[in-house]
Structure 1
Amino acid sequence: MSGYQFAHMELYSAKGKSAAGPEDHHAKRKNGQRAWTAQEIIDELERLEHASRHVIRGRPAPEIIPGDVDNFPDLRAAQIAAASIKESFPYTKKDGSKATRQRKLRADAPSIYASVVSLPVRTEHALADDELRAQSVALLNKSIEHEKKRIEKAGGRFMMGVIHWDEEHLHAHIIALDPVRGRVKHLHPGHAAKDDLIQEGKDRKLSKKEVNKLGNRAYCDAMRAWQDDFHSAVFQKAGLLRYGPRRGRLTRAEYRRAKESAMMRAADEEWRSEIESAMASAEEMKEAAAEEIERGRTMRATATERVEALEFGTASVLSQEIVYRPKKKEKPEGLAFGPNAPSSKKERTKIAGKRAKVGDALRGGISWRCSDAVNSLVRKGYATCQRLPSPNCPIHRVFHPTHSRTFYAMARAS
């Protein structure tokens, strides 16, 4: 997509601006445009007959991007409710005391915010080319989302977005209200900056002329910042220029080269983003593979340890180094050293350690000890379920005996 960005915003009141004379049906703004009312703006968005004489007939209907509302009747009702908000204001009584009164929002107070974003794409071209249409709609949706975040940060509510397909260039409207305050002047960055500067000038006791001059400068700075932010966040990535050819006093050839350069930068940025995404995915896959390898090594080591423990237990029972000890009054059933057990204390301690691993292998394959369990029991050498739930913990274990008396005794005695 080539060209330059277009973004504009405006505020509208329930009454609109008063007409200049009895012969004027509608007032004119300073720029010569008609001063629309809030409800007339909604009529134009909806494409009602009396408000859409400028559109191209036979084109698709307005496409609504839902916000707080998803249809025009609800938008009308929300605007009327916002314009009916009662404001509190201070006043001085006759006796000099201070008090507050409430009154309905002035009819000429701005109560609806509307911004428009237009693309350098002819609507008929977008309708005829599915790829261009999808690209254009995606860019408009990004614009709407960008404005929505700014509006909500400023204290307003995003009501809906509307994409129009029936004018020369494809464009979208962003509509916002403030259901709490009614007024929406604070949603307009230019007006908000100017009001702040005017209040600051009054506090500094500047002259009215100086205050207005500083306020106008703050208004222009804020609007330029809004356009710059829009370009860096949305349009630059799509290959659109911030300014048109007249601003830079470019010839047609220079402007064409500038557009081509912007498109190339956008393509490079998209390619770079894809590369970074692919690299991030590859890094995630590498980490996942490393985790799986480590898990496999742990499982293999655990399995090896279990096999060795079970082989030792079987060999010890068969060689009668360990024998089954039936239950007695003073001792529970379990395992004891058999007639062929070594006499050396060192060797017997070694066998006792391996015997503990036999029980661990029978109950889950863990060979480490829980110090709390060891210190709280007379019998030493129990494993724990602290790392993973298993029947190894002497406090929480649930042991199910098998049909083999030797198997059961080995497990209990470990």
Structure 2
Amino acid sequence: MTECSFFHIEGYGRKPLVGKRPKPALDGVVAEAERRPGFCAHVASPLPPQILLGITPTQAAEFAVEQASRARNAASRRIRSIDIVMYAGVVSYPVEAGKVVRRHGDKAEVIDPLYTAWLKENLVWLAREFGDALVSVVEHLDEAYPHVHFYVQPPLEEGRLRLDRVHRGRRAQVGVTDKSEQGRVYCFAMSRWLDDYQAAVGASFGHERFGPKRMRTSRWWQMEKRRVQNQANAVAEAARLAAERSVVETKKKLHSQLLLLKEELCRTSDTEALQLIFHAERRKLQQRLDEADKRAALDARRIAKAGAMLRAAGLLPDIGPGELNAPAACSAR
């Protein structure tokens, strides 16, 4: 199945819009986002929404309604109840929820790491696109495709709600008086807006800008699919090369540390070996000194005994013990 990027933004008033293009009121939109009973019949098994950024949708709507009560139109009159007071948008992840989340009763566990990365990229893009006007972001994981609702509050400047500050289509119409030209510049700006979202978020995850029905021609569809896939492959290849470079650098550092450790070990081993040799030679020398002492003592006893025998036989005159110099015992240690 084709995985296409989906980004949509719509303005809502305090009262529903009726006619050829009916539109619900703001309170109904936020009630559906918060999964209030009676407002989410399209969801078989609703899950509590996750607030990813800012305040709750209800709090955002209450602030928008309060701000609208102070707003004035070009004629310095109160704005109509059907006039836009806040924008609500949605970005959808084009992979079936069953492949992204695993449900556990009234909780959902994300099992697709790409979805987590996609979600972070969307939060970054939304914050960069709308700045302080982005007042709430809510995640839904209980429908066919995981998606995120976001709410944007136009600023109130000198009593006027400046929709053009937060909406590119409205911004493009500023200063354009011709009705047909207003429609043209509006559509062009909105198309470029979708292109920017695709380049910043969708293309990085291999999502196409257009679906096969929109492309009409299979040849152009295949070209666009290959272009987006090549771009996604390039991003993945760059990430892989960066990871490989990181691994190589880490290996080099570890190898250098290992060599230093080996050198230190060798120095330590050499010192220990010299110490062992020194102690072994010292023990040998001590043994030789002890043996010399023993031989000197034995020789002294033998000389003393021989002298006594010679004196007894009258062959050696009597002399004092100190007059017979026996070999001195070795005492150097």
Q: Please report the TM-score for the alignment, with normalisation by the length of structure 1.
A: 0.52
Residues 92, 148 of structure 2: 8 Å contact kept: yes
- 1:49 and 2:37 equivalent? yes
1:44/1:264 Cα in 2 relative to 1: closer, same or farther (>3 Å)?
A: same
**What CA distance in whole angstroms lies between the structure 2 residues aligned with 1:131 and 1:265?**
26
> What residue is the counterpart of 1:160 in the other structure?
136
Query: What's the CA shift for 1:42?
Result: 0.8
Query: What's the CA shift for 1:263?
Result: 4.1
Q: Greater CA deviation, 2-11 or 189-198?
A: 189-198
> What residue is the counterpart of 1:215 in the other structure?
182
**What CA distance in whole angstroms lies between the structure 2 residues aligned with 1:64 and 1:146?**
17
SS of 2:4 mapped into structure 1 = coil
> What residue is the counterpart of 1:66 in the other structure?
53
- 1:146 and 2:134 equivalent? no
1:165/1:28 Cα in 2 relative to 1: closer, same or farther (>3 Å)?
A: farther
Query: What's the CA shift for 1:168?
Result: 1.3
After superposition, what is the alpha-carbon deviation per residue over 1:9-31, rounded to whole angstroms, capped at 9, x for unaligned? Answer: 100011232x4xxxxxxx551xx
Q: Percent identity?
A: 24
After superposition, what is the alpha-carbon deviation per residue over 1:1-53, rounded to whole angstroms, capped at 9, x for unaligned? Answer: 96111111100011232x4xxxxxxx551xxxx41111111111111112111
**What CA distance in whole angstroms lies between the structure 1 residues aligned with 2:98 and 2:246?**
39
**What CA distance in whole angstroms lies between the structure 1 residues aligned with 2:73 and 2:191?**
33
Residues 154, 163 of structure 2: 8 Å contact kept: no
Determine which of 73, 90, 101 is the counterpart of 1:127.
101
**What letter corresponds to residue 197 of structure 1 in structure 2?**
V
> What residue is the counterpart of 2:28 in the other structure?
40
Aligned Cα root-mean-square deviation (Å): 3.4
Determine which of 275, 293, 308 is the counterpart of 2:241.
275
1:106-125 maps to which residues of 2 (within 5 A)? 106-125=80-99
- 1:8 and 2:8 equivalent? yes
Q: Please report the TM-score for the alignment, with normalisation by the length of structure 2.
A: 0.63
1:270/1:2 Cα in 2 relative to 1: closer, same or farther (>3 Å)?
A: farther
**What CA distance in whole angstroms lies between the structure 2 residues aligned with 1:73 and 1:223?**
27
> What residue is the counterpart of 1:239 in the other structure?
206
Residues 3, 259 of structure 1: 8 Å contact kept: no
Aligned residues: 246
**What CA distance in whole angstroms lies between the structure 2 residues aligned with 1:225 and 1:132?**
33
SS of 2:130 mapped into structure 1 = helix
1:216/1:284 Cα in 2 relative to 1: closer, same or farther (>3 Å)?
A: farther
Residues 40, 51 of structure 1: 8 Å contact kept: yes
**What letter corresponds to residue 44 of structure 1 in structure 2?**
E
1:210-359 maps to which residues of 2 (within 5 A)? 211-251=178-218, 259=225, 262-263=228-229, 265-276=231-242, 279=245
Residues 35, 47 of structure 2: 8 Å contact kept: no
> What residue is the counterpart of 2:291 in the other structure?
none
**What letter corresponds to residue 130 of structure 2 in structure 1?**
I
Greater fraction of residues in helix:
2
Which of the pair has the greater relative contact order for Cα pairs under 8 Å at 6+ separation?
2
1:39/1:235 Cα in 2 relative to 1: closer, same or farther (>3 Å)?
A: same
1:89/1:131 Cα in 2 relative to 1: closer, same or farther (>3 Å)?
A: closer
1:13/1:280 Cα in 2 relative to 1: closer, same or farther (>3 Å)?
A: same
